[in-house]
């Protein structure tokens, strides 16, 4: 699940989705988070907390990039995706 950090939070559409997911009571499912930020970068942490509360096993701490991802960030994101697919 991904979201940029907006006003020290996540996008309202992502928050709504996470709220719906929590009600489904998933168990023994894996999840990961990603996002970008400009100043503070709370979105990934908030998503992780919500997914953990919803019963997911977090694969890692998530990945985030400052502002728009640049070349090095894109490579990190590709590697992040490959690790999740294994």
Q: pLDDT (tens digit, 9 = 90+) per residue, 12-39? A: 999 999 999 999 988 999 999 999 999 8
Confidence band of 46 (pLDDT split at 50, 70, 90): very high
Distance CA(29)–CA(71), nearest Å, equals 31
In this prediction, residue 86 carries a pLDDT of 74
Percent of the chain scoring above 70 in pLDDT: 100
The tokens describing 56, both together, are: 């997911």
What is the reported pLDDT for 70?
Answer: 84
Kindly list the distances between the CA atom of residue 74 and the CA atoms of 7, 36, 56, 57, 85, in Å, as whole numbers in the listed order.
24, 12, 26, 25, 17
List the beta bridge partners of residue 36: 65
Task: Give the residue carrying structure tokens 């990945």.
Answer: 63
* Residue 59 exposure: Cα atoms within 13 Å on the Cβ side: 16
């Amino acid at each position: 699940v991904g979201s940029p950090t907006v006003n020290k939070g996540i996008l309202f559409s992502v928050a709504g989705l996470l709220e719906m997911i929590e009600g489904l009571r998933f168990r023994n499912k894996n999840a990961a988070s990603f996002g970008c930020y400009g100043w503070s970068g709370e979105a990934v942490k908030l998503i992780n907390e919500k997914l953990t509360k919803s019963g997911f096993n977090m694969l890692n701490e998530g990945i985030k990039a400052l502002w728009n991802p640049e070349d090095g960030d894109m490579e990190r994101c590709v590697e992040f995706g490959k690790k999740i697919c294994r």
